[in-house]
Amino acid sequence: MKFSIQVNEGPYTHQASDSAYQFTKAVLEKGHEVFRVFFYHDGVNNATRLTTPPQDDRNIVTRWSKLSEQYNLDMVVCVAAAQRRGIVDDGEAKRNGKDATNLAPGFRISGLGQLVEAGIQSDRLVTFGD
């Protein structure tokens, strides 16, 4: 079965991000395909490389990055939601006159069309968070 995942909540503020990660990991380990993971609303905060949790806590951003690397996941961050929350890659930083970037490895910024495509291309679109 082919899944796409939508994550609408940020790390450390809601269970949705942890649940989405665990679900995605389990789906992949069972041999299913994940077409795309789309981070929307506060979910885009899962993509900032500047997150620095205490050493005895889980690092949700790093977990997503490692999962992306291991399974070659397409992890897309909504551009409008990212801009509102100060998350930028090289292209967005240059386009908006910013002097730094903070997008974590494995993530890319794109538009809502990527979410629509994910829904069309997948057997199931599973949403985590409001």
pLDDT in tens, 57-104: 999 999 999 999 999 999 999 999 999 999 999 999 999 999 999 999
Rounded to 5°, the CA angle 105-18-55 comes to 70
| CA 103/CA 91 separation, integer angstroms | 11
Residue among 78, 87, 103, 109 flagged as catalytic: 78
What tokens does 110 get?
């794109």
What strand order describes the sheet that includes 75-78?
Answer: 107-110, 75-78, 33-39, 2-7, 124-128
Mean pLDDT, rounded, for 99-118:
97
Q: What is the pLDDT of residue 84?
A: 96
Residue 56 belongs to a domain with what CATH number? 3.40.1260.10
pLDDT tens digits along 40-63: 999 999 999 999 999 999 999 999
Total domains in the chain come to 1
pTM over the 0.85 mark:
yes
pLDDT band at 108 (very low <50, low <70, confident <90, very high): very high
Beta bridge partners of 125: 4
Domain span holding position 104: 2-128
Q: What is the pLDDT of residue 19?
A: 98
Answer yes or no: 2 catalytic: no
Q: What is the pLDDT of residue 70?
A: 98
Distances (CA, A) of 14 to 37, 44, 61: 18, 13, 14
Q: Pick the closest to residue 11 from 26, 25, 22 (CA basis).
A: 22
Mean pLDDT, rounded, for 100-115:
97
What average pLDDT does the chain have? 96
